[in-house]
Structure 1
Amino acid sequence: MTARNRGAVRRLLETARPELPLAVAALACAAAAVALTVAVPRLLGAATDLVLSAVSGHHRVDFAATGRVLLSALACYLAAFLLSFAQQRATATIAQRLVFRLRERTQAKLARLPLAYFDGRQRGDVLSRATNDVDNVGQTLQQVLTVAVTALLMLVGVLAMMVWTSPLLALVSVVMVPLSVVAARVVGRRAQPRFAEQFAATGLLNAHIEETYTGHALVGVFGRRRQAVREFGERNDAVFRAGFRAQLLSSLIGPSMSLVMNLNYVLVAVIGGLRVAAGALSIGDVQAFIQYCLQFGQPVNQVASMSTLLQSVLASAGRIFELLDEDEEEPVADPVHLPATATGRVTFETVSFRYAPDRPLIEDLSLVAEPGQTVAIVGPTGAGKTTLINLLMRFYDVTGGRITVDGVDIARVPRQELRARIGMVLQDTWLRHGTIADNIAYGAGDVPRERIVEVARATGVDHLVRTLPGGYDTVVDDDGEGLSAGERQLVTIARAFLADPPILVLDEATSALDSRTEVLVQRAMTSLRAGRTGFVIAHRLSTVRNADVILVMDEGRIVEQGTHDRLLAAGGAYARLYRSQLTGAQLTGAQPAASDPVPAS
């Protein structure tokens, strides 16, 4: 067993430790059921000897004695059935509780992982670890616990009865066991990497399906459906090949074990017959021993089969624990709390950030956002605009300098407390499955309907809601089906304003809105942003003309800052960006950008 598999076994046992009393009870039931089961061949052998002795002695069969023996055997079988049922119920409970804990830990871990973890991985693979792998551990582990434990106890019990019946025949049978064990170990060792490949390929397939589904419309618009189908076929084929290899190897165990056990039956029949002829054994003893051989072969096959299932469990468990071992957001060691009365003053003091030592993204950036000011951040793609906001939200931590909110270094503030002071509206809208009211109130706790309606009216959502058949109780799914992109954005803006944060972040928040909806949103933002510090990331410069300060970023540095008029007069980077957008709008026949409505602080 590899070090990774040993670690997975150890951690699974640690996770299941609270179920130790139930496991002891299950083990006791299994042991009692096995003891009753292995007693039956001896009883049937005794019944056989009673009948044969009567026939060979030419006297009447003692049917009363034979009946008592057979009734005892039947009672043993019934009691063993009830005990086995109790054992399976206990092991099922253990497995389901184990899976419940793994799901809880996985979900809690996902909540603590930094944004960098998700940026570097496909979502489908992460979801596969949290769902498919956890389910596989639960379903397969239940089989392993139920069958393997019983099989191991059966091996011990049957072996003891075989030795009691005939040590010589027992020796013959035991000699054949190592061959079975060697076959199982060789095949199982070769199958485990194949199962790991299967689950990894399944994660990539899930990622492709999730990616294609969420971008279904764009896949069609860009004529990539055939390519998407082809990529699906390639990944599905990879899952098939990995699964086929794993199942092919595991399927070799059963036939190999059957061959070995059939050879054992032949040897027992020949040697047993010779021992009966010599008077060392009775025919009933040989009959009982052959039944023990059958009982002995079944658990050996089961243990071999369970070894393959165990490899599947360990492959999934390894992926789960790999996720649980990922570095997470470190809690603040000596936390400092933000002032109870927030003003929303934000400063960046010579801030630097880089993903890797050779990949600087922001260098020595300094700025001050006074309470109530609107700070617009513009610049070309990759300039560091969104990274700046990610640092403010502490999705990433600065690698140099510091950021303060109301005079407190945010590196010493608990993340949850910091993020509760910041409202955020992103370009990519996110709604959860629930009603419109639930989505507006998300994150705000128990909010009365009157307050939800008030915010909805202020943001223009109320007019939209009243056109829906269910009003505020209209249910939307996580894709916001039934709502336009602009309508979904309005809901997310209302959600941010309901939280009433002192700091507001709008990351291309109006980019998905049509002109009419944008007018409504901009007017609502003008009134509702009063008294808040606002950071606006914008591509369309027309939406930030009235900002108090406009920062022009390029390659992680602030190359210009000032008001719209001053920056235009300077004729620098901002003026070039503005004129290029104005020219582009005129060439496409759009209205001049200068006519667009803009918020004022």
Structure 2
Amino acid sequence: MRQHGETAASASSSTTPSGLTVTAPVGGDWQTLSRLLPYLWQYKWRVVIALALMVGAKLANVSVPLLLKELVDAMSLKPGDPQSVLVVPVALLVGYGALRLLTSAFTELRELVFAKATQGASRSIALQTFEHLHALSLRFHLARQTGGMTRDIERGVRGIESLISYSLYSIIPTLIEVGLVLTILAVKFDAWFAGITLLALTLYIFFTVRITEWRTQFRKQANEFDSAAHTRAIDSLLNYETVKYFGNESFEAGRYDESLERLRVARLKAQTTLSVLNTGQQLIIAAALVAMLWRATEGVVAGRMTLGDLVMINAFMIQLYIPLNFLGVLYREIKQSLTDLDKMFVLMDREREVADAPAATALALQGAPDVVFDHVSFAYESDRPILQDISFTIPAGKTVAVVGPSGSGKSTLARLMFRFYDVQQGNICIAGQDIRQVTQSSVRRALGIVPQDTVLFNDTVAYNIAYGQPGASQSQIEEAARAARIHDFIASTPKAYQTSVGERGLKLSGGEKQRVAIARTLLKNPPILVFDEATSALDSANERAIQAELASVAQNKTTLVIAHRLSTVVDAHEILVMESGRIIERGNHAALLAQQGRYASMWSMQQNAEVSHSSVATSSAT
């Protein structure tokens, strides 16, 4: 039987398009099954009942040929015998109908009983994978390829349902039926019937397994090329504007077509080998059927068997033929489901680079805390240090600003505060508590950030602002929007706060996105604030207005300001000047200017640039 929509699968080691190195675990398929069983065993009574119903269905199904034999043999009555009227209609209609009804009823009840276990296991594994992805470090998410990874997860969840369906609903019932038929044939007739059936089954399974294992390489390639094509398509669509800016639509189409061509070739190879497999399977089945019917026909002619025996054997072969014909497809589907599920388990096994300490407690705060960086050193890669022996304190309720050229390590300070990474040397303490010794969730609850690169959810403006405090009322959302100077703009749109912002907020301008980010942070109202170039996308007028608002909000809060424009940090209690991962100057604005060092040089350059820009603007206006 041909398999439609076949995709590749393999349990061998590979690097998926999602950026994950997939290595088949020790124990392979059996280990994957052993990891799935605990999710199903949560519904153990449903499993037991489903198995009992499955056995009942097969007993009823196997009883049908036995009933047909008795009916055929009982019909050897003389014409006009009154018993024939009773035997044929009543026994045939009632007995045959009852057994067929029981077979269907047991099968449907089995699926109904076990559906909750199947869907429950799928839900549990999908949720656990989703939670684990959020628990992984920023390093993993920066390296991942979203399209391929989501494809792996989607196939893994679908593989759970397929695996349960094909194994519990097809493979196990088929094996039970084969066992019952072999027993009946061996007991009622000579060993040739059971021997032919067993030999055909053995050859069929051996042939199917060997050819399928050979075909795995082609199916694996098709699977990987499918994920690669999906990844390229998603990446291109997410970067729609960039594609348009450079007029590279044909280039992107060419890259996508290249992936599709590789996928086409791999699928053609898989289909060709599938045809070889199907032909061999049909040959084995046909030979077994001919041998069984020849043996039965010879027995009837020789008088060793009745006509009812011939009918019964033929009915058994028909009943076995259908599930046996699908056995190769089922084996391939199970292998594919196991591989897809294993990929998702490999993803779940991905080590958490940043994890809570075993005895971690919640961060204890009373009001605005102080934040201390104590001899902190950090590197994303071992051969490229980012921070080198950084020490400073943000006093409780005060503002410290960090300035310096790009690449000096300013934004890394914020990432370390949020524990997206752990420091290699030194400590970061909040209210005297090392953040590695408290829970990550409690640290992040205490922090609020307005990032330089604002990314919004593809939802409404209200949803994105309320993300700072899920469950916030409409009045609270609007109050935060007013503080961020975006309420009037939102109110002027046709759908107001129900306006969709689009994928990653692309329907909004850079300044509008940044003000939404400011609003949601203001709504969160945490004791510690981080402003990472919080007003970089705003025009001068709005920047001054929002700077005043942020300064007001930062009153009595511990605040870290990361800035490029020095005019935005002149009121900070202390300014740190960073260069090449080190603090080279520190002090307030006046003190740093008096030092006539790096800060004073940066200030002079920016002031001159602003004066030049102002002069050009005035000349253009006149």
TM-score, length-normalised on structure 1?
A: 0.89
Task: Give the alignment partner of residue 537 of structure 1, picking from 546, 562, 570.
Answer: 562
Against the structure 1 CA distance between its residues 142 and 574, is the aligned structure 2 distance closer, same or farther, given a 3 Å change threshold?
Answer: farther
2:229 matched to which residue of 1?
205
2:92 matched to which residue of 1?
70
SS of residue paired to 1:398: coil
Please report how far the alpha carbon of residue 60 of structure 1 lies from its aligned counterpart in structure 2 after TM superposition: 9.0
2:416 matched to which residue of 1?
391
Contact 1:155 1:299 in 2 (8 A): no
Contact 2:402 2:577 in 1 (8 A): yes
2:325 matched to which residue of 1?
301
Contact 1:30 1:153 in 2 (8 A): no
Matched, 1:3 2:30: no
Please report how far the alpha carbon of residue 121 of structure 1 lies from its aligned counterpart in structure 2 after TM superposition: 1.5
Q: How many pairs are equivalent?
A: 590
Question: Residue 551 of structure 2 aligns to which amino acid in structure 1?
Answer: T
SS of residue paired to 1:349: strand
2:407 matched to which residue of 1?
382
Question: Residue 300 of structure 2 aligns to which amino acid in structure 1?
Answer: V
Matches within 5 A, 1:509-524: 509-524=534-549
SS of residue paired to 2:472: coil
SS of residue paired to 1:347: strand
Matched, 1:331 2:384: no
Provide the C-alpha distance between the structure 2 equivalents of 1:73 and 1:503, rounded to a whole number of angstroms. 77
Task: Give the alignment partner of residue 253 of structure 2, picking from 229, 237, 241.
Answer: 229
Provide the C-alpha distance between the structure 2 equivalents of 1:148 and 1:46, rounded to a whole number of angstroms. 30
Provide the C-alpha distance between the structure 1 equivalents of 2:275 and 2:592, rounded to a whole number of angstroms. 73
Matches within 5 A, 1:113-512: 113-139=136-162, 141-167=164-190, 168-192=192-216, 194-246=218-270, 248-250=272-274, 252-328=276-352, 329-335=354-360, 337-477=362-502, 479-480=504-505, 482-512=507-537
Provide the C-alpha distance between the structure 2 equivalents of 1:342 and 1:207, rounded to a whole number of angstroms. 46
Q: Higher mean Cα deviation, 287-296 or 313-322?
A: 287-296
Against the structure 1 CA distance between its residues 133 and 542, is the aligned structure 2 distance closer, same or farther, given a 3 Å change threshold?
Answer: farther
Task: Give the alignment partner of residue 36 of structure 1, picking from 55, 60, 67.
Answer: 60
Where do 5+ consecutive residues of structure 1 fail to align?
594-601
Task: Give the alignment partner of residue 49 of structure 1, picking from 58, 69, 73.
Answer: 73
Q: What value does the CA root-mean-square deviation take over the aligned residues?
A: 3.0
Against the structure 1 CA distance between its residues 515 and 234, is the aligned structure 2 distance closer, same or farther, given a 3 Å change threshold?
Answer: farther
Please report how far the alpha carbon of residue 402 of structure 1 lies from its aligned counterpart in structure 2 after TM superposition: 0.6
1:108 matched to which residue of 2?
131
Q: Higher mean Cα deviation, 560-569 or 119-128?
A: 560-569
Provide the C-alpha distance between the structure 2 equivalents of 1:357 and 1:414, rounded to a whole number of angstroms. 26
Provide the C-alpha distance between the structure 2 equivalents of 1:463 and 1:483, rounded to a whole number of angstroms. 14
2:103 matched to which residue of 1?
80
Among all aligned residue pairs of Structure 1 and Structure 2, give the percentage whose two residues are the same amino acid: 29
Question: Residue 67 of structure 1 aligns to which amino acid in structure 2?
Answer: P
SS of residue paired to 2:360: coil
Provide the C-alpha distance between the structure 1 equivalents of 2:496 and 2:599, rounded to a whole number of angstroms. 44
Against the structure 1 CA distance between its residues 382 and 542, is the aligned structure 2 distance closer, same or farther, given a 3 Å change threshold?
Answer: same
Contact 2:56 2:106 in 1 (8 A): yes
Question: Residue 150 of structure 1 aligns to which amino acid in structure 2?
Answer: P
Please report how far the alpha carbon of residue 541 of structure 1 lies from its aligned counterpart in structure 2 after TM superposition: 4.0
User: Segments of 4+ in structure 1 off by > 6 A?
Assistant: 57-61, 582-587, 590-593
Provide the C-alpha distance between the structure 1 equivalents of 2:256 and 2:221, rounded to a whole number of angstroms. 17
Against the structure 1 CA distance between its residues 286 and 436, is the aligned structure 2 distance closer, same or farther, given a 3 Å change threshold?
Answer: same
Contact 1:351 1:365 in 2 (8 A): yes
Provide the C-alpha distance between the structure 2 equivalents of 1:445 and 1:45, rounded to a whole number of angstroms. 70
Provide the C-alpha distance between the structure 1 equivalents of 2:269 and 2:537, rounded to a whole number of angstroms. 48
2:3 matched to which residue of 1?
none
Provide the C-alpha distance between the structure 2 equivalents of 1:556 and 1:444, rounded to a whole number of angstroms. 34
Alignment deviations for residues 216-251 of structure 1 (CA, whole Å, 9 cap, x no partner): 112211233222222222333344444554555455
Contact 1:155 1:300 in 2 (8 A): no
Where do 5+ consecutive residues of structure 2 fail to align?
1-10, 12-25, 618-622
TM-score, length-normalised on structure 2?
A: 0.86
Matches within 5 A, 1:19-34: 19-34=43-58
